Amino acid sequence: MAVDTGHRPDYFRVWVWLVLLVIVSTSASLVLPKSAALLLIFTVALVKALLVALNYMHLKYEKPLLYALAAAPLLIVVILFFALFPDFVFHR
């Protein structure tokens, strides 16, 4: 079977965005107050991850099954986080 490369985003443009976002988060860590910097840095990291997953891994052209495969373990990680959170953060 032939490889389906029918859907092609502008890969170079996505790379430029990724590089710009690295510069944004790096600058934020140097310039902004800590809490604002943290918020921006992790928002930017999430956006970068989505850019790679949607465009380079072509998730935006895939069927829901693959979204479910990617989302299920993320849900498990979130559950793990909130299960561990009270024990470590509030137990002094």
Partner 1 sequence: MNSKVETLIATGIPAGKVGMWWFLASEITVFGGLIASYIVVRLGSPGWSEAGARLNFSLGLVNTFVLLTSSLTMVLAFKAVGEKDPKGLRTYLGFTILLGLTFLTIKAFEYGGEFVRGYTPAAGIFWSFYYGMTGLHALHVFAGVVVNAIVLIAALGEILKPHEHRVELAGLYWHFVDIVWIFLFPLLYLT
Alpha-carbon gap, residue 27 to 37, rounded angstroms: 9
What character string, x for contact with partner 1 (CB under 8 A) and - otherwise, covers 44-63? xx--xx--xx-xxx----xx
Restricting to residues 28-47, which ones interact with partner 1 according to CB under 8 A? 29, 37-38, 41-42, 44-45
Among 19, 36, 39, 60, binds partner 1 (CB under 8 A): 19
Q: Token match 């793990």: residue? A: 80
Rounded to 5°, the CA angle 65-84-90 comes to: 145
> Distance between CA atoms of 11 and 57, rounded to whole angstroms?
11
Q: How many CA atoms lie within 13 A of 71 on its CB side?
A: 7
Interface ranges with partner 1 (CB under 8 A): 1-6, 8, 11-12, 14-15, 18-19, 22, 25-26, 29, 37-38, 41-42, 44-45, 48-49, 52-53, 55-57, 62-63, 65-66, 69-70, 72-74, 76-78, 80-81, 84-85, 88-89, 91
